[in-house]
Amino acid sequence: MVSDTGDLEFSLLRYKKPLEAMRIVIDQLVEEAIIDPQRCGITGLSYGADITAYAVATSSMFKAASLSAADLDPSFHTMASVNLEKTVEGYGYPYPDDLGRAMWRKSSVALNAARVTTPLLIQSPESEALASLETFKALRHHGVPVEWYVYLNEGHVKFQPRSKYLAYRRNLDWMNFWLQDKEDPDPSKQEQYKRWRELRKLREENEKKPSPGAIKN
């Protein structure tokens, strides 16, 4: 459920509640010595991608993340049709002027990029690619590990076998790299891991800098 009257706090519950449930499960599994909290990742498509983006923007609970599109940034309002713009404003996301951006900051990866610590893999269908541009550029600017792929001729749900295969493979590679320090020895992937090792070095350098503080919502 989301608001249709501009009540953003109500709309945000659709992200906060799943994350709180995950936190409870993670805490219990840690208490039972089943998992390592430093090796937890999150992925998402569609609504799941929104939950993932919100988690990346507002918490450090996950140490790696992958999503299909990051559309909780102000640019989404800018690119929306007139009808969709009204719908988005009903959710509680107004026109992103100075006052409006304060509302978007409650869930936007881009607007919280200076505080983000989670390495993010974005695998967008061509039809939704622009929705992730703001997040990608902001994370790159702030030295947060991010890699972005666009799958041509794909819609909201990828349907081409090759696209699905590549997306699944990259998800596994990304999670193994950041959560388990593992690299696939496949020679065709060596350029990929070269980039990712550079991203890891960049993150280590940024971690030495003073933190801008906790994210507030």
63 and 41 Cβ atoms separated by less than 8 Å: yes
| Active-site residue, 46 included | yes
Q: From the candidates 9, 46, 126, 198, which is the catalytic residue? A: 46
Q: In what order do the strands lie in the sheet with 146-151?
A: 41-44, 64-67, 120-125, 146-151
* Burial letters 106-133, b for 16+ CB under 10 A, else e: bbbbbbbbbbbebbbbbbbbeebbbbbb
Question: How far is C-alpha 66 from the chain's CA centre?
Answer: 6
| Active-site residue, 128 included | yes
Q: Report which secondary-structure segment, H or E, holds 6.
A: none
51 and 19 Cβ atoms separated by less than 8 Å: yes
Q: From the candidates 60, 156, 205, 207, which is the catalytic residue? A: 156
123 and 167 Cβ atoms separated by less than 8 Å: yes
Q: From the candidates 11, 66, 89, 128, which is the catalytic residue? A: 128
Phi, psi at 106, each rounded to 5°: -65, -15
173 and 186 Cβ atoms separated by less than 8 Å: no
Whose structure tokens read 């070095």?
201
Active site residues: 46, 128, 156
